[in-house]
């Protein structure tokens, strides 16, 4: 393999590795942000139902006899197509009211019951294959947990958003790599024989040494331009990653 070809593949490999690392980092941060947004959104719905039910319990109505519960949960489900089901459970995990009326009177699924027992009257979450379940306690005026609101929402919508983001970023990255490969090929095979100092100069450029003098060497000038683009792209993606992290922290 000639010197020029080795340089060509080395630069291309270096850029590809950086791109893949940045892609994985951004995908992870975006996925975490989407998860936080979804949890916050549906936790708000659950807390609203909890508050409404606790107000009725405060008026002296037992949870099992709150017929208004069925209307409340069906209305919330109808307003959001990402909600798969909402159930009102008693303190043992038995379904009192549900948007899926066929489950009324039955015990909640085993993983729900396990999370409910471990939570000791606190909020709990169960991650299923295609859905996530949020459970919030219903507390009476004596600070006793008398039941739970369990809201099950779909992961498909947010998973699709993450997939779309990844495909978009991958498409742009592939186009950039293809363009860079073409420029590198043109620059590599359009130059004269490499001087002895070129390997050291290339190494200095990709180590971030801005003092390295490329002179009139087309390959060195191309390498410096590529390094500048890599640095600029890294700074941009790093800034975006910090923005996503800040949004995640605020949520």
Residue 150 in this model has a pLDDT that exceeds 80:
yes
pLDDT of residue 147: 92
Q: List pLDDT tens digits, range 195-218.
A: 545 555 555 555 555 555 555 555
Judged by average pLDDT, the poorest of 106-110, 140-144, 152-156, 231-235 is 231-235
Length of the chain: 251
Residue 42 in this model has a pLDDT that exceeds 80:
yes
DSSP string, 12-42: HHHHHHHHHHHHHHHHHHHHHHHHHHHHHHH
Alpha carbons 211 and 184: distance in angstroms, whole number: 22
Look at the block and give the residue holding tokens 């620059």. Answer: 187
Which whole number is the average pLDDT over 150-178?
74
Q: List pLDDT tens digits, range 49-97.
A: 999 999 888 877 888 888 889 999 999 999 888 899 999 999 899 999 9
pLDDT class of 107 with cuts at 50, 70, 90 = very high
C-alpha distances (whole Å) from 118 to each of 15, 115, 125, 195, 219 are 48, 5, 11, 70, 64
Partners of 136 in the β-ladder: 149
Give me the domains of the chain, ranges plus CATH numbers.
Answer: 3-31+159-250 (no CATH), 43-154 (3.30.450.20)
Percent of the chain whose predicted confidence (pLDDT) is above 70: 55
Q: What is the mean pLDDT of the chain?
A: 75
Alpha carbons 210 and 204: distance in angstroms, whole number: 8
Identify the residue with better confidence: 22 or 241. 22
Mode of pairing for the β-strands spanning 83-90 and 145-154: antiparallel
Strand, helix or coil at 5? helix
Sign of CA dihedral 5, 225, 22, 171: negative
pLDDT of residue 73: 93
Alpha carbons 231 and 91: distance in angstroms, whole number: 57
Alpha carbons 20 and 10: distance in angstroms, whole number: 15
Looking at residue 122, the DSSP 8-state letter turns out to be S
- Strand (E) or helix (H) holding 247: helix 218-250
């Amino acid at each position: 393999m000639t010197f020029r070809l080795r340089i060509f593949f080395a630069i291309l490999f270096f850029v590809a590795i950086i791109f893949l690392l940045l892609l994985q980092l951004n995908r992870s941060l975006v996925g975490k942000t989407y998860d936080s947004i979804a949890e916050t959104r549906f936790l708000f719905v659950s807390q609203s139902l909890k508050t409404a039910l606790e107000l009725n319990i405060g008026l002296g109505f037992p949870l099992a006899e709150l017929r208004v519960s069925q209307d409340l949960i069906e209305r919330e489900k109808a307003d959001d197509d990402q909600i798969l089901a909402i159930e009102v459970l008693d303190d043992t995990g038995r379904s009192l009211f549900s948007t899926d009326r066929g489950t009324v009177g039955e015990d909640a699924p085993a993983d729900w019951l396990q999370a409910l027992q471990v939570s000791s009257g606190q909020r709990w979450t169960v991650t299923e294959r295609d859905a996530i379940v949020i459970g919030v306690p219903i507390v009476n005026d004596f600070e006793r947990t008398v039941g739970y609101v369990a809201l099950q929402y779909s992961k498909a919508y947010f998973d699709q958003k993450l997939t779309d983001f990844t495909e978009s970023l991958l498409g742009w990255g592939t186009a950039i790599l293809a363009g860079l490969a073409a420029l590198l090929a043109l620059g590599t095979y359009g130059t004269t024989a490499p001087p002895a100092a070129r390997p050291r100069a290339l190494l200095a450029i990709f180590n971030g040494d801005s003092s390295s003098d490329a002179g009139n060497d087309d390959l060195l000038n191309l390498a410096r331009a590529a390094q500048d683009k890599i640095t600029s792209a890294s700074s941009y993606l790093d800034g975006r990653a910090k923005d996503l992290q800040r949004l995640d922290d605020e949520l």
